[in-house]
């Protein structure tokens, strides 16, 4: 028998994670807010039922639901529960992909053996096991490919399961699913498909494969195989090496103050250097991206003098990239990207880099806590460091394969 692939997805994960520790939130309309306090980054089903969408600002949500309760996100806690879920899935499957903080793909072929019941019951047993051990409700789909499994778990939320192996049953299910529900088919791709009469997932499976490839590249072709029940995208148990590593994000209050921009640059560089260190990588190119409040932005890149993960070299390069920014534009977001990555062991040592200072900083922060020792330039962002929730972001959850 071919391998069975499962997809497990926690239901409104951030809200469910908060409900694990704050039981009073169960059954309430809950919105998890991002660090800036402006947007709902996750919502309970009670809030969703009122038409609230992820990303909506709080000032739109409150009039629609005056009784909603808002809570600040806490990625450290969410990672604790995520790792617990991962442990449980690893107990029942030899191959597990840590796709994102709340989603896993796994080899479901061993569920029957593990739980000693039939396959549908064993899927429910896994669901109950996760609920009992972590307090988190999850939805699970099982089928012949990861795309089918994900489509099924998504269609059965919240706290549902679906197992479809029979070709006719899969066909009926695919007919009920709009093509936009496929993970990997965005709005633009869905529009392209609609133009040639492909509206639902079954239409997609019946389309000419080469035509799909021409329209949506090899990625679309892989989806075509997967929806036709042929698993062509394997379960990735190890994260593939990044092509780039990026750190940054929203800056909260927009600014064009050079001192504050330099402070943000130092903060994001420190986070980037830390991420490179964790992955044992060095980079040879640096990209700086600024987002303007009025729309548009600023993008500059520079080749570094040598492959490095050292703070001083990267920060100097980042400062140079910032020089040609025009101060008339208010900046609301900043990203620093490291590109042309290679393994640190493979690079030639540079005579120009002082590794000792970097090492001392890393070792001290490991012992004393993140950002305990940091660049003096960051002193101009006191609010960021006074608030511990700023010290840990979703991108700091390591090992996920999705980004």
Partner 1 sequence: MCAGLAVNWRDIPDHLIEEFSLQNRVVSRNENEKEIRFLFRDPVAQLPVWVDDRLTIVEWGNRGNKESRLPKTGWCRNESLEAGKWNWLKPQPVIIPACYGLEKGVWFQIKEGMSGILVKDEKNIDHVYMLTTAASHYYEVMTRHGRMPVLLGEVI
103 an active-site residue?
A: yes
Name which of residues 368 to 387 contact partner 1 (CB under 8 A).
Answer: 383, 386-387
Radius of gyration of the chain (CA): 23
Judged by CB under 8 A, does residue 266 bind partner 1?
no
What's the angle, vertex CA 248, arms to CA 246 and CA 253, rounded to 5?
165
- Quick one: which segment of 60-68, 211-219, 238-246, 311-319 binds partner 1 (CB under 8 A)? 60-68
| Cα separation, 190 vs 390, whole angstroms | 37
CB of 331 to partner 1, least distance (A): 16
Judged by CB under 8 A, does residue 157 bind partner 1?
no
Pairing of strands 69-72, 96-100: unpaired
> Which whole-number Å values give the CA distances from 294 to 56, 117, 291, in the listed order?
19, 59, 9
Which of 1, 67, 324, 326 binds partner 1 (CB under 8 A)? It is 67
Cis amide bond preceding 185, omega within 30: no
Q: Long-range CB contacts (< 8 A, 24+ apart) of 231-235?
A: 231/2, 231/3, 231/5, 231/144, 231/145, 231/146, 232/145, 233/145, 233/146, 233/147, 235/5, 235/95, 235/96, 235/97, 235/105, 235/106, 235/107, 235/146
Judged by CB under 8 A, does residue 186 bind partner 1?
no
Judged by CB under 8 A, does residue 26 bind partner 1?
yes
Say which residue the tokens 């197992």 belong to: 163
Closer residue to partner 1 (CB): 36 or 343: 36
Which of 22, 53, 128, 354 binds partner 1 (CB under 8 A)? It is 22
Closer residue to partner 1 (CB): 54 or 121: 54
CB of 75 to partner 1, least distance (A): 14
- Active-site residue identified among 46, 95, 97, 103: 103
Judged by CB under 8 A, does residue 330 bind partner 1?
no
CB of 297 to partner 1, least distance (A): 22
Look at residues 15, 160, 184, 9 and name the one whose alpha carbon lies nearest to residue 98: 9
Which of 20, 48, 70, 312 binds partner 1 (CB under 8 A)? It is 70
Judged by CB under 8 A, does residue 253 bind partner 1?
yes
Active site residues: 103
Q: Contact positions toward partner 1, by CB under 8 A?
A: 18, 22, 24-29, 33, 35-38, 46, 58, 62, 66-72, 252-253, 383, 386-389
């Amino acid at each position: 028998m071919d391998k069975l692939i499962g997809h497990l997805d926690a239901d409104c994960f951030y809200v469910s994670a908060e409900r694990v520790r704050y039981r009073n939130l169960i059954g309430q309309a809950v919105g998890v807010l991002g660090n800036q306090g402006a947007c709902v980054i996750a919502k309970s089903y009670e809030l969703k039922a009122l038409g609230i969408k992820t990303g909506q600002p709080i000032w739109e949500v409150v009039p629609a639901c005056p009784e909603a309760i808002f809570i600040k996100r806490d990625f450290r806690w969410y990672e604790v529960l995520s790792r617990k879920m991962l442990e449980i899935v690893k107990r029942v499957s030899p191959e597990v992909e840590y796709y994102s903080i709340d989603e896993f793909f796994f080899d479901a072929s061993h569920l029957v053996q593990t739980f000693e019941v039939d396959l549908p019951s064993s899927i429910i047993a896994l669901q109950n096991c996760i609920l009992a051990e972590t307090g988190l409700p999850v939805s699970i789909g099982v089928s012949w490919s990861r795309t089918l499994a994900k489509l099924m778990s998504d269609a059965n939320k919240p706290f549902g399961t679906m197992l479809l192996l029979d070709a006719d049953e899969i066909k009926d299910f695919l007919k009920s699913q709009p093509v936009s529900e496929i993970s990997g088919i965005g709005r633009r791709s869905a529009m392209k498909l609609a133009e040639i009469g492909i509206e639902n997932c079954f239409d997609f499976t019946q389309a000419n494969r080469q035509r799909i490839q021409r329209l949506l590249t090899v990625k679309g072709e892989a989806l075509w195989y997967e929806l036709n029940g042929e698993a062509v995208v394997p379960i990735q148990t190890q994260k593939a090496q990044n092509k780039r590593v990026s750190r940054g994000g929203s800056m909260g209050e927009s600014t064009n103050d050079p001192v504050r921009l330099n402070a943000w640059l130092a903060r994001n560089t420190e986070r980037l250097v830390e991420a490179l260190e964790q992955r044992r990588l060095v980079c040879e190119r640096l990209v700086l991206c600024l987002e303007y409040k009025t729309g548009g932005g600023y993008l500059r890149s520079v080749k570094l003098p040598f492959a490095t993960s050292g703070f001083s070299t990267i920060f100097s390069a980042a400062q140079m990239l910032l020089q040609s920014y025009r101060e008339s534009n208010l900046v609301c977001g900043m990203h620093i990207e490291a590109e042309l990555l290679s393994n640190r062991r493979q690079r030639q040592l540079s005579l120009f880099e002082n590794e000792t200072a970097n090492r001392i900083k890393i070792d001290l922060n490991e012992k004393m806590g993140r950002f305990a020792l940091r660049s003096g330039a960051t002193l101009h962002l006191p609010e960021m460091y006074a608030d511990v929730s700023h010290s840990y972001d979703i991108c700091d959850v390591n090992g996920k394969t999705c980004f």
